[in-house]
Chains A and B, each alone.
Chain A
Amino acid sequence: MTAAAAVAPPAEAPAVTTIAVDRLSKWLGPVVALSDVSFTIGPGVTALLGPNGAGKSTLLRILCGLTGASQGTVRVLGVDPRTDLALRGRLGLVAQQESLFEQLRAVDIVALSAGLHGVADSASAARGALELVDLDPADARPVRTYSKGMRQRVKVAAAVVHDPTVVVLDEPLEGLDPRQRVRMIELFVHLGAQGRTVLVSSHVLDEVERFGSQVLVLAKGRLAASGDFRAIRDLMDERPHRLRLRASDARRLAAALMAGGTVVGTHLEAVDSVLVDTVLVGAFRRALPRAAAAEGIRLLEVTPLDDDLDSVFRYLVDR
């Protein structure tokens, strides 16, 4: 994967490029949804990470041809997704919206998707796809009675029933319980291992970590970083962190950490509470218990204050 606009160490271009985006911008009226985004990705799982409103869904919609680019070029399997009709038979999309054909059964919806994509035995393909996502093909209930998680799985089954080369999934894990999430992540990894290009969007950092994949980080419509997940994680760890430490003697603990060089600033809040700033998260994690033990201080609580995604993305964009 490469990213012209990325701030992470540039990764190598994939051996086979299935999606190529060059200087893509998209305006929605006066709002800039995407700005000068460039990257290429190949087969395997790629996670599209970013906070809500970052432009992930807009990017995925453009990749599927559902809307056009205002500027720049997009190629999926070498063609323009906005105009190439044949490409749509090789694409599978799990859209973010909940809408389904409410009055139909899950097996009917998935068979419909298969039929619309020209699958010969759509009934058999639908049963197979539903079993893949742990749903009962014989369930006679209409999908309007389904839970959010079940509906999400119906959408995934409908997106993969025609054996697409490129699978685009917009927040597919939303609404799933932890067991279903694990199962679904296994499915995505499996699809990627089969040589398909799987692009999955998420705003949950830990989810993306479990894909073990390449990552594109989108923030405020810009590509903030791209590359291997570990490289992105390291990049995120390098940013300044603020933590609240609660300890039996906060002042002495702060002094010990300052002396150790892993903390660049402290602010005593109370006898048992201190805010510390660090830029060496890894070293700080190791130094903290050692310093507490050496000083005979009881460490009560460690709370990261800026570990939410927004602050991570803000850092990546602003640096």
Chain B
Amino acid sequence: MTGRLIPAAATLSFALCWEAFCRLQEIPHFILPAPSRIAILLLTEAPLLLKHAAVTTFEIALGIVFSLAAALPLSIAMFFSPLLERALSPLLIASQAIPVFAVAPLLVVWFGYGTGSKVIMAALIIFFPVTVTLLQGFKSCDPGYQRLFFVMGADFRKTLRFLYWPWALPYFFAGLRVAVSVAAIGAVIGEWVGSLEGLGYLMMQANARLRVDMVFACVVLLSCIGLLLWGGVSRLEARYVRWNQDTKEIQTNK
């Protein structure tokens, strides 16, 4: 109970300070809107905000699906073939040095103003951390276990299924958790560069009209999307990696 009470109290007192600051200093709402104003806007403009939030969520979700579809087979292939790993890992690292934001305009040129360019943007950002952490997970497998599976006469497919994959699952989830939090950045930047809908589009429109309260409302919604995805990944992790949860169990029991 106290575990939730303390962060809630902290958030509430932060909002109260913010509210008091805006009111006492008489800050114009187009510079810094008070939390109450943002809250009211969230309620009155809910249909509009939710419509655009749905678009962004869809882009993020699809980005996650696509990047996983590419990252899983690639990391398995790179783990299976050291030659492939040696050939591709410099490329993967180099690709990470490219600021994805710099490619965003290109993606819009290639894939248009629609959902496609945003999905690809989100997928690109997620792809690297998931691939690399998963590969790391596979490679961290204890040689003793590998030897055991070797003696059993298990081929790569069987060893992957019974040893490498469950072994790497905690790594996979660690990568995925990072990925879902950055996926939103990809989608929003894609929308900033050029789009006709989505929270990023709404933010650009609102910003141009000095509707700072609307910008804040979008930020609140984006945070909610991020938290929901984060929670979803944590839930999946708790369900499939229960055996790795010793420390968490101990913490919640106290």
Report whether chain A binds chain B. no
Q: Which residues from chain A sit less than 8 Å from chain B, CB to CB?
A: none
